[in-house]
């Protein structure tokens, strides 16, 4: 088996059928036909996942079950149960494009030395409609110094060599410490510390943004980010340690946006923003800094109506830029 796709599931049948359909509907070159399997990991859910999978009657799809342990443990269970030399991950509510497998595998075919390959992703709403937001990166090669300052690797658009995971380890399981963790970012950094990284310059999946997304727990994310920084900057060279303030500023910007979008708390957002600028003084020169400050101020002064107006204007401008970039 060349490629195993691991999908952690917990009562996921609202979106999972569409997700699995997108993973199986791949335009594959001849050498990859019949070389892709899908491992659904039932993380102690109470739905009828196994019965649903059996009813599909597709030999490419199988289910393994574990006691509820969280997404990191579920991915690790899927890795252990899989057979592919390349392991890809997809969340149970995201959507792959028909060329996802081919685009990511091509990175390894071009350069067998890489340990990880990733691609770009676009954001869709609950109904799968594009929002206009696309996340692109140009980082490839030896990128540890860049990966610690920003997480550009979407968890549903990454493929890793099995022997690399055998060497560096799998996802850290911190569920007893943080309800929401950032274990995926920590693993990408860990891989990048040893192996070069490949990049597919194409959108390889659609990230579905909806009310049930688990990344909305600000308190848990705050603790998880601090743990991440402690882990990745432990026992590094002085040159690498000098990047910690910039990495810290990035996490604080994320938490500021989370405070606005999910908690509607402008005071908390501005507090994170001030801390981010303390760690990275030149942050005020960036568009993102002023966009966040304007949004927080609008929410504080004019309430939800003003905040929605700022976000709406930002979304319109983003869609216009995206259409312009596509020509």
CATH number at 107 reads 3.90.550.10
229 domain-assigned: no
CA distance 273 to 250: 10
Do 181 and 291 share a domain, yes or no?
A: no
Do 100 and 211 share a domain, yes or no?
A: yes
Last residue of a domain, one of 215, 234, 260: 215
Do 12 and 114 share a domain, yes or no?
A: yes
143 domain-assigned: yes
Do 7 and 151 share a domain, yes or no?
A: yes
User: Among 93-97, 143-147, 296-300, 306-310, where is mean pLDDT lowest?
Assistant: 306-310
> Is 38 within 8 Å of 20 (Cβ atoms)?
yes
User: Among 28-37, 109-118, 212-221, 261-270, where is mean pLDDT lowest?
Assistant: 212-221
Sign of CA dihedral 12, 14, 18, 21: positive
Range of the domain at 257: 243-325
232 domain-assigned: no
User: Among 37-51, 84-98, 282-296, where is mean pLDDT lowest?
Assistant: 282-296
Do 161 and 266 share a domain, yes or no?
A: no
Last residue of a domain, one of 173, 195, 215: 215
Do 277 and 209 share a domain, yes or no?
A: no
220 domain-assigned: no
Do 145 and 249 share a domain, yes or no?
A: no
**pLDDT at residue 256 above 90?**
yes
Do 191 and 252 share a domain, yes or no?
A: no
**Both tokens assigned to 225:** 């980010």
Q: pLDDT of 216-232, one tens digit each?
A: 689 999 999 999 999 99
CA distance 54 to 38: 13
SS (H, E, C) 177-204: CCCCCCHHHHHHHHHHCCCCEEEEEEEE
Do 146 and 284 share a domain, yes or no?
A: no
pTM: 0.90
Do 135 and 256 share a domain, yes or no?
A: no
Q: pLDDT of 196-206, one tens digit each?
A: 999 999 999 99
Do 106 and 172 share a domain, yes or no?
A: yes
DSSP 135-185: E-----BS-HHHHTT-----TTSEEEEHHHHHHH------TTT-SS--HHH
Model confidence at 300, pLDDT cuts 50, 70, 90, reads: confident
């Amino acid at each position: 088996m060349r490629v195993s796709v691991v999908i952690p599931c917990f009562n996921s049948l609202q979106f999972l059928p569409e997700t699995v359909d997108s993973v199986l509907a791949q335009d594959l070159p001849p050498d990859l036909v019949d070389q892709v399997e899908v491992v659904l990991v039932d993380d102690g859910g109470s739905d009828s996942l196994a019965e649903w999978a059996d009813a599909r009657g597709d030999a490419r799809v199988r289910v393994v079950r574990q006691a509820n342990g969280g997404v990191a443990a579920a991915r690790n269970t899927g890795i252990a149960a899989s057979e592919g030399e390349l392991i890809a991950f997809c969340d149970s509510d995201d959507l792959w494009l028909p060329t996802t497998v081919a685009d990511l595998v091509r990175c390894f075919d071009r350069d067998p030395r890489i340990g990880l390959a990733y691609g770009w992703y676009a954001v869709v709403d609950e109904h799968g409609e594009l929002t206009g937001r696309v996340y692109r990166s140009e980082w490839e090669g030896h990128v540890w110094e860049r990966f610690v300052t920003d997480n550009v690797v979407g968890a549903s658009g990454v493929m890793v060599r099995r022997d690399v995971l055998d060497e560096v380890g799998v996802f850290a399981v911190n569920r007893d410490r943080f309800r929401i963790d950032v274990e995926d970012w920590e693993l990408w950094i860990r891989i990048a510390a040893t192996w070069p990284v490949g990049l597919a310059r194409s959108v390889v999946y659609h990230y579905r943004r909806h009310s049930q997304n688990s990344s909305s727990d600000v308190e848990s994310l705050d603790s998880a980010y601090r743990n991440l920084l402690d882990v990745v900057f432990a026992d590094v060279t002085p040159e690498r340690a000098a990047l910690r303030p910039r990495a810290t500023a990035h996490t604080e910007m994320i938490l500021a946006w989370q405070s606005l979008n999910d908690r509607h708390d402008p005071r908390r957002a501005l507090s994170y923003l001030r801390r981010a600028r303390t760690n990275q003084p030149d942050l005020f020169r960036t568009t993102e800094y002023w966009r966040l400050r304007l949004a927080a101020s609008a929410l504080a002064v004019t309430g939800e109506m003003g905040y929605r107006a700022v976000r709406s204007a930002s979304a319109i401008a983003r869609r216009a830029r995206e259409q312009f970039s596509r020509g």
